[in-house]
Amino acid sequence: MPQGPDGRQKTRGEKREGKRGNELGIWFFKAFLRLFGLRGAYGLLYLVSLHYALFDRLLVASALPYIRRRFPGCGLLEERLHVYRLFVSQGKQLIDRYAAVSGSAVFEIRFKGGEDVVSLIRNSRRGAILLTSHQGNWQVAMTALEKLEKTVHLVMVPDQNPSMQRALYPDGEGGRLRIISPERYLGGIVEILKVLRQGDVVSIMGDRGYGASAVEVSFLGDKAWFPYSAFRLAAAAECPLVVMETAKVSSHSYVVDMSNVLYPRYEGRRNRAGQLQPWVQEFVSLMERFVEEHPYQCFLFRDVWNQEADTISA
């Protein structure tokens, strides 16, 4: 059976993911982008997304937990239409990511609360944590964070699909951007705390735990489980935690909201997970508000409402 990057056996989702986004398919998108611009690449995307919505049962199944809670009471056909629109939205943002880093397109990025947060991060001797999620296009926002004038460390698992990895991160790690894998010793915690003490910035996904412990919260009217690793790190380092939400508002425009800053702290040594739960709930409430405004920009592709569910990567 094929092995994952950490030596474990690959899950069914990981094996299927390797079949998506192959070299030939990515070449076609690059060619359409180069010849016809964003609109041309988007046009090809509508056909590809339709194929996935009709025939990729695993991918559709990974989207349904969110779709069924965001759009309750839908019939089968309407439900599948929501899934299709979600796939199209995600595809556009992947194309935007490549277009931004390759210089094929220029995007207007407007920051909400940006200057205050930039000043806060610049002056924080204990570093700062940028808390992102699988909503919107945080990768495009990262291209505009040079103004922080600090090294940004992304906590992320290396992509299971080499073709997609090369397309979305053509330059690898460079400049002020570094990657810390949660598959490293102790989940990368030692390295994260080290760079925070140096005053650097660490970007962490707040909705993907990579096997870390989670707490119960309310999300879209139902019980859900979200990891509290980022909040535990912020409390341990005594650094600010900046929630970064990125919404695509037009073909060439994004809005990055960095106006929500949290300061998780412990009071005593008992039940620390319970102490962090309200902070996690505040973050999840911001996610809920985001999907109310942008229902097709939530790319969880994971059943966060099932405590026992395995992660399904899309």
Cα–Cα distance, 202 to 217 (Å, whole number): 24
Query: What's the domain count of the chain?
Result: 2
Domain around 191: 108-293
Residue 51 domain-assigned? yes
Same domain, 49 and 97: yes
Last residue of a domain, one of 102, 124, 151: 102
Last residue of a domain, one of 102, 122, 138: 102
Give the pLDDT band of residue 19 (cuts 50, 70, 90): low
Residue 252 domain-assigned? yes
pLDDT at 312: 39
Same domain, 168 and 255: yes
pLDDT in tens, 242-262: 999 999 999 999 999 999 999
Strands of the sheet with 253-262, listed across from one edge? 108-112, 253-262, 241-250, 128-132, 201-205, 152-155, 177-180
Same domain, 163 and 236: yes
Same domain, 138 and 251: yes
Last residue of a domain, one of 102, 128, 159: 102
Cα–Cα distance, 23 to 167 (Å, whole number): 9
Direct distance between the N- and C-terminal alpha carbons of the chain, in angstroms, rounded to an integer: 20
Cα–Cα distance, 180 to 177 (Å, whole number): 10
Same domain, 136 and 98: no
Same domain, 250 and 195: yes
Residue 155 domain-assigned? yes
Q: Model-level pTM? A: 0.86
pLDDT at 158: 65
Residue 274 domain-assigned? yes
Same domain, 150 and 286: yes
pLDDT in tens, 159-186: 654 544 555 554 544 567 888 888 777 7
